[in-house]
Structure 1
Amino acid sequence: MATPVVTKTAWKLQEIVAHASNVSSLVLGKGSGRLLATGGDDCRVNLWSVNKPNCIMSLTGHTSPVESVRLNTPEELIVAGSQSGSIRVWDLEAAKILRTLMGHKANICSLDFHPYGEFVASGSQDTNIKLWDIRRKGCVFRYKGHTQAVRCLRFSPDGKWLASAADDHSVKLWDLTAGKMMSEFLGHTGPVNVVEFHPNEYLLASGSADRTIRFWDLEKFQVVSCIEGEPGPVRSILFNPDGCCLYSGCQDSLRVYGWEPERCFDVVLVNWGKVADLTTCNNQLIGVSFAQSNVSSYVVDLNRVTRSGTIVQDPVQDSRPVAQPTPTGSTIRRGYERPATACSKPQRVKQNSESERRSPSSEDDRDERESRAEIQNAEDYKEIFQPKNSISRTPPKRSEPFPAPPEDEVAIAKEASKPSQAMDVQLPMPNRGNSDFVPRVPVATSTPMPKAEPAVIPAARNEPIGLKASDFLPAVKMPNQSEMVDEDAMSQIRKGHDTMCVVLTSRHKNLDTVRAVWTTGDIKTSVDSAVAINDLSVVVDLLNIVNQKASLWKLDLCTTVLPQIEKLLQSKYESYVQTGCTSLKLILQRFLPLITDILAAPPSVGVDISREERLHKCRLCYKQLKNISHLIKTKSGLSGRHGSAFRELHLLMAPLD
């Protein structure tokens, strides 16, 4: 592919600090394309107008981090699910809580509003899918079939079906009227993160962590095509409103696909990192991503994007014949039959109504009293949710697209001179740089803003144990300069160079010692040698290898590793905690049933040395696991990814009790 001409096809729109703590979920409104909702570890849901810096409304009431949020199509209701399993529905126009729904036993991973009826679907880490009647707070149906967390739910455009995607690598289609599964789509080899219905035809798309997008025919219930070679796990997909193509939000790029046959129409470079949600507005595509407490929004001008025609050729592959696309607008499948009118917004029903499936408890009432909708920006709130002389409750759609930033000739010249880089080994890509994105060097001022230290240091920092960032980049006060020049930045980096070299040299020497033992094929002795070095970083490196192959784990290996896992789980480094959780999960899944069975078995008659040794190992593992279980129980109340991992481990360790 030739080096693309640098134009304003895509640009960064805005970056905001969305929450006081980490952002845990976000979603764009699909009606106007101008409303953004974010959920955070601070247990709040915040509403934003895209491209405006101030929060419109902050919704409180949840007592644990908000894991999933969803706006209904008219953008008049919002639903949010938390780590504790509770769900709350707010009326945005009235600025008040509408419903509190309780029933899930674990994290709420996915939510969706029914397009016409007064229902909400929820998917949880407890593997259940529930359909709620938000008029009466009642659960209408519970759909059971997935064996792992349900990551995405989508109602069909006609409101008759519900599609679900889960970590068990499957996609399921549910008939809402019959209350049962219609079909199961198998083929993905990794967790399925997202599903989307075609807006007009009986077609479903699914994106997975296995880096593929699959298209499913909903009449024949079979795969139509499979797109492979995505740069990373597929987290966000969106059909064009007219159904002509599918957009995939990849790492730092947007890809445009057709499916019959599978082909890539275009690749657009966007520096959005891991984009979390996509929508379209005024022939522009809006993408949003988040990192820690920040949320960034980006715009792609679809007028400059190819959405049909020839295949985008990969320069490292041999040229292939170009497939002829299906003519735009032609349909080869049955279309959805939509109701003529949509249902109105749910109204509160009397508490003594006989039609209620269950009476709301006093706890639910207290939750609703404690839940608040705090208007932060009255002007934007009135403009969006209470427009003057508007009969419709739908937010007004602004006709003007987001303007592109002015062209910077210097930046364009600099961009054009950059060499092409490969994003991924499997699928080389053009240069990921963008004239709108300029890496910033940290600014040193005389009065730095105070910032709370995180409880866990993110793994992305890759800091060696015992060292802090200040060991490598000591603060330098420069009151008369607003930013540092390249020489100053390099000087600061070099100050930590010698320390880093000493740490890495020592670590490399220790790993060579362990590797020498590893080559003998004795895994247990290798782990023993790593433990004897008394350096957790070496233990982490070795466990990351062992975790890749479950067959390497033996019972005697567990007795050595479990005390190290207890140390890893208490580490302040995220990578150490992640490795410890992964190892412990493998041990629990592989050996806990064996340990409990052997300990529960009656004593044998006579002398059986091998059985006695196995019994001794099981007792030792049981004692170590009991010690760890207290730590797991304590940490299961944490927020973010760690709390989720510890809660899953807590469930796996239930047989110990």
Structure 2
Amino acid sequence: MAAAVVTKTAWKLQEIVAHSSNVSSLVLGKKSGRLLATGGDDCRVNVWSVNKPNCVMSLSGHTTPIESLQISAKEELIVAGSQSGSIRVWDLEAAKILRTLLGHKANICSLDFHPYGSFVASGSLDTDIKLWDVRRKGCIFKYKSHTQAVRCLRFSPDGKWLASAADDHTVKLWDLTAGKVMFEFTGHSGPVNVVEFHPSEYLLASGSSDRTIRFWDLEKFHVVSCIEEEATPVRCVLFNPDGCCLYGGYQDSLRVYGWEPERCFDVVLVNWGKVADLAICNNQLIGVSFAQSTVSSFVVDLSRVTKSGSVPHGLLRSDEPLAQPNPTGSSLRRSYDRPSTSCSKPQSRVKHSSESERRSPSSEEERDEKESKAEIQNPEDYKEIFQPKNAISRTPPRMNEPFPAPPEDEPVAAKEAAKPNQPVELQTPLPKQELPEPVQMPPIASSTPLPRAEPSVIPAARNEPIGLKASDFLPALKNQSQTELVDEEIMSQIRKGHKTVCMVLTSRHKNLDTVRAVWSTSDIKNSVDSAVATNDLSVVVDLLNIVNQTASLWKLDLCTVVLPQIEKLLQSKYESYVQTGCTSLKLILQRFLPLITDILAAPPSVGVDITREERLHKCKLCYKQLKNISNIVKNKSGLSGRHGSAFRELHLLMAVLE
């Protein structure tokens, strides 16, 4: 009797070296689910066909790392935003630069194409949202309301609204025609990273660093429900095409949610790491993630995933009726009215845009477009995707075949029976009367993929891998005795440092006990003084991590003590120290910098006012310390990655000091 072949619910599809340096952004085409664009610190945008090893097209022209990417709904255009604030739009079929859009003052954090018109929305670290007319190269409107970086932008399915999510913990809904905020959704306690419209209903989902997902009613403007704190923040969200559920991508899993009431239908373990985008094609969910210079793609078989209280099709017995999904509120809310023609551009308030934003293309923009190039790396794949035979439109061809799922790991006996390097042949299915009785399938939780050997990294359009391997840092070993010798040396090094580590930890524990004793008196200033007196930055970091959680604890005299410590933290070699220093400095700048500048700019008082003199002295001291720190922040604002973004944001906040 032949055993039934059981396929996996989720599996890794491919891993490629996408750039010669770190990957900084990536996005999937939502129409086909097969088009992938990656941006890197090498200032290039590379275009790929999912599950193919070679780069299809490489786009150059940016002079700083790519921070954000988006592919148009028809997968004919791609837009990329850089660290310097410039935006470039490419025509993929013509393989050429289409537009260069300049105007933002800092990193481009988010981009989105309008679903019906030739418009692009951009959100930046400078807190502005701009709407661009790609055909005329101009900024037709600038929306100003957020107070911190705009992390995600999404147009509504009917093209009338724009939703924005930002680090200021808010989600705003904009009326494009009126050019103003329709409503501001508050409730998240951390930066909001992602936002997504329901495909048909007046419903919006937002995911935050506070580890919650909130669902908002766009007709009554209130929160529908909230998925409470998961173990890690959600990285990306996507509604199922029929709107029955929401998929959330986390560090190590895919979660399936309903919102009326809020509940988790299913959890599929997927070790994809920094998952950046999701798309659905042929009842399969495609997810892409990145780590350093590599990009990995994953597949989840949605027929084996529980949605809306239904039983996955793959787990039904042949004699069982198909369970109907529970309605998720389609009768409770309005649906979008989708126009049959392209959307007209916003009117009425375009006059508020500055002349500089509506000017004709500058010589700088024209030069940028001349220097930008679209190089076809793989002509065969390029013709297959962007120039199909007898194509009427510029839409990439739909691929009807889903990605094949690898079989589950074979039993040990079967593996031993199989010859090395020779696949095990599947027997021909038996006649219907000889089939065994249906076997009860395990629950969904146990249908997650088992550990298996990862595919080797496929270099992108290269004959050799990029970068060094771990073995490059180890001495060449010729025999087993040398291996044992190396192990002994390692153990010797560990033993040598063991006593030192114990002494350091004992000292740190003693210092923390001292600080805790002062903390129990509720005197924050003396607590920080005692932490500084220990001359141990790790103790200062531990205390600041607590103080940073409650902004009301900060006073002006506390700033005079903390600022010199922040200067040390920002120059530390430890990532956690730098992160704590940036958080503390940001709090100080937001709460006290306007006060400091106002007091210093005020005319001198008449008579003797001791309280005012003390406040003036503290402000002068803080101003001097902030000036010293501003030089460090300015020097580090050119860094790439997460810390680079944090330093650039601090640099903007400290601009008043210059």
SS at match of 2:594: helix
Assess, with a 3 A threshold, how the Cα gap between structure 1 residues 451 and 408 changes in structure 2: closer, same or farther.
same
Distance 2:455 2:53 in 1: 20
Assess, with a 3 A threshold, how the Cα gap between structure 1 residues 508 and 410 changes in structure 2: closer, same or farther.
farther
SS at match of 1:300: strand
Assess, with a 3 A threshold, how the Cα gap between structure 1 residues 534 and 283 changes in structure 2: closer, same or farther.
same
**Could you tell me which amino acid in structure 2 is paired with residue 363 of structure 1?**
E
CA contact (8 A) 1:67 1:108 kept: yes
CA contact (8 A) 2:7 2:405 kept: no
Paired residue for 1:383?
384
CA contact (8 A) 2:202 2:219 kept: yes
| 1:479-512 deviation per Cα after TM superposition (whole angstroms, max 9, x unaligned) | 679xx99x98898477435425623531441342
SS at match of 1:623: helix
CA contact (8 A) 2:126 2:149 kept: yes
Distance 1:141 1:310 in 2: 45
Is 2:601 aligned against 1:600? Answer: yes
Assess, with a 3 A threshold, how the Cα gap between structure 1 residues 61 and 250 changes in structure 2: closer, same or farther.
same
Assess, with a 3 A threshold, how the Cα gap between structure 1 residues 450 and 99 changes in structure 2: closer, same or farther.
closer
Distance 2:492 2:385 in 1: 52
**Could you tell me which amino acid in structure 1 is paired with residue 497 of structure 2?**
T
**Could you tell me which amino acid in structure 1 is paired with residue 157 of structure 2?**
P
CA contact (8 A) 1:270 1:432 kept: no
CA contact (8 A) 2:211 2:232 kept: yes
Return the offset for 1:72.
0.5
Paired residue for 1:146?
146
Distance 1:566 1:329 in 2: 53
**Could you tell me which amino acid in structure 1 is paired with residue 636 of structure 2?**
K
Return the offset for 1:31.
1.0
Is 2:214 aligned against 1:214? Answer: yes
| 1:416-448 deviation per Cα after TM superposition (whole angstroms, max 9, x unaligned) | xxxxxxxxxxxxx9699842456999xxxxxx9
1:505 to 500, 503, 507: 503
CA contact (8 A) 2:150 2:166 kept: yes
| 1:102-125 deviation per Cα after TM superposition (whole angstroms, max 9, x unaligned) | 122222111111111111111122
Assess, with a 3 A threshold, how the Cα gap between structure 1 residues 519 and 330 changes in structure 2: closer, same or farther.
closer
SS at match of 2:627: helix
CA contact (8 A) 2:268 2:448 kept: no
Is 2:123 aligned against 1:108? Answer: no
Is 2:245 aligned against 1:230? Answer: no
Distance 2:395 2:233 in 1: 35
**Could you tell me which amino acid in structure 2 is paired with residue 553 of structure 1?**
W
| 1:492-548 deviation per Cα after TM superposition (whole angstroms, max 9, x unaligned) | 477435425623531441342243143123544554454455443343333323323
Distance 1:450 1:289 in 2: 18
Return the offset for 1:187.
2.8
CA contact (8 A) 2:8 2:447 kept: no
SS at match of 2:56: strand
Return the offset for 1:280.
0.5
Paired residue for 2:640?
639
**Could you tell me which amino acid in structure 2 is paired with residue 615 of structure 1?**
L
User: Greater relative contact order (Cα 8 A, min sep 6): structure 1 or 2?
Assistant: 2
Return the offset for 1:176.
2.0
CA contact (8 A) 2:15 2:297 kept: yes
| 1:190-237 deviation per Cα after TM superposition (whole angstroms, max 9, x unaligned) | 222222122222222222222222222333333332222433222211
CA contact (8 A) 1:224 1:259 kept: yes
SS at match of 2:651: helix
Assess, with a 3 A threshold, how the Cα gap between structure 1 residues 488 and 16 changes in structure 2: closer, same or farther.
farther
SS at match of 2:300: strand
| 1:236-289 deviation per Cα after TM superposition (whole angstroms, max 9, x unaligned) | 111111222111112311111222222322111111123211110111001111
CA contact (8 A) 1:215 1:259 kept: yes
SS at match of 2:38: strand
The alignment covers a number of residue pairs equal to 592
Report the RMSD for the aligned CA atoms in angstroms.
3.6
Give 1:78-157 correspondences, 5 Å limit: 78-157=78-157
| 1:78-126 deviation per Cα after TM superposition (whole angstroms, max 9, x unaligned) | 0011122211101111111100111222221111111111111111222
Assess, with a 3 A threshold, how the Cα gap between structure 1 residues 619 and 177 changes in structure 2: closer, same or farther.
closer
**Could you tell me which amino acid in structure 2 is paired with residue 435 of structure 1?**
L
Is 2:63 aligned against 1:63? Answer: yes
Greater shift, 126-135 or 402-411, is seen at 402-411
Distance 1:549 1:39 in 2: 37
Assess, with a 3 A threshold, how the Cα gap between structure 1 residues 406 and 143 changes in structure 2: closer, same or farther.
same
| 1:150-199 deviation per Cα after TM superposition (whole angstroms, max 9, x unaligned) | 22111122222222222222222222223233333333332222221222
Distance 1:94 1:476 in 2: 51
Distance 1:279 1:309 in 2: 22
SS at match of 1:520: helix
Distance 2:628 2:360 in 1: 42
Paired residue for 2:474?
475
Assess, with a 3 A threshold, how the Cα gap between structure 1 residues 523 and 171 changes in structure 2: closer, same or farther.
closer
Distance 2:548 2:492 in 1: 35
Paired residue for 1:305?
305
CA contact (8 A) 1:113 1:155 kept: yes
Structure 2 length as normaliser, TM-score?
A: 0.81
Distance 1:103 1:477 in 2: 54
Paired residue for 1:334?
334
Return the offset for 1:342.
5.9
Paired residue for 1:282?
282
**Could you tell me which amino acid in structure 1 is paired with residue 601 of structure 2?**
A
CA contact (8 A) 1:245 1:257 kept: yes
**Could you tell me which amino acid in structure 2 is paired with residue 407 of structure 1?**
E
Return the offset for 1:655.
2.6
Return the offset for 1:62.
1.4
Paired residue for 2:364?
363
Distance 1:361 1:303 in 2: 53
Give 1:566-585 correspondences, 5 Å limit: 566-585=567-586
Return the offset for 1:291.
1.9
**Could you tell me which amino acid in structure 1 is paired with residue 616 of structure 2?**
L
CA contact (8 A) 1:92 1:385 kept: yes
CA contact (8 A) 1:88 1:101 kept: yes
CA contact (8 A) 1:170 1:184 kept: yes
Paired residue for 2:494?
496
Assess, with a 3 A threshold, how the Cα gap between structure 1 residues 224 and 600 changes in structure 2: closer, same or farther.
closer
Distance 2:467 2:568 in 1: 27
Is 2:285 aligned against 1:270? Answer: no
SS at match of 1:592: helix
Greater shift, 559-568 or 491-500, is seen at 491-500
Paired residue for 2:352?
none
Distance 2:588 2:447 in 1: 41
Return the offset for 1:15.
1.6
Assess, with a 3 A threshold, how the Cα gap between structure 1 residues 525 and 244 changes in structure 2: closer, same or farther.
closer
Assess, with a 3 A threshold, how the Cα gap between structure 1 residues 303 and 519 changes in structure 2: closer, same or farther.
same
Return the offset for 1:607.
5.1
Structure 2 unmatched ranges of 5 or more: 313-323, 345-356, 416-443, 457-463
Paired residue for 1:401?
402
Assess, with a 3 A threshold, how the Cα gap between structure 1 residues 598 and 155 changes in structure 2: closer, same or farther.
closer
Return the offset for 1:452.
8.1
Return the offset for 1:304.
0.6
Assess, with a 3 A threshold, how the Cα gap between structure 1 residues 120 and 494 changes in structure 2: closer, same or farther.
farther
Distance 1:551 1:175 in 2: 35
CA contact (8 A) 1:269 1:432 kept: no
Return the offset for 1:326.
3.5
Is 2:450 aligned against 1:435? Answer: yes
**Could you tell me which amino acid in structure 2 is paired with residue 505 of structure 1?**
M
Paired residue for 1:178?
178
CA contact (8 A) 1:264 1:311 kept: no
**Could you tell me which amino acid in structure 2 is paired with residue 560 of structure 1?**
V
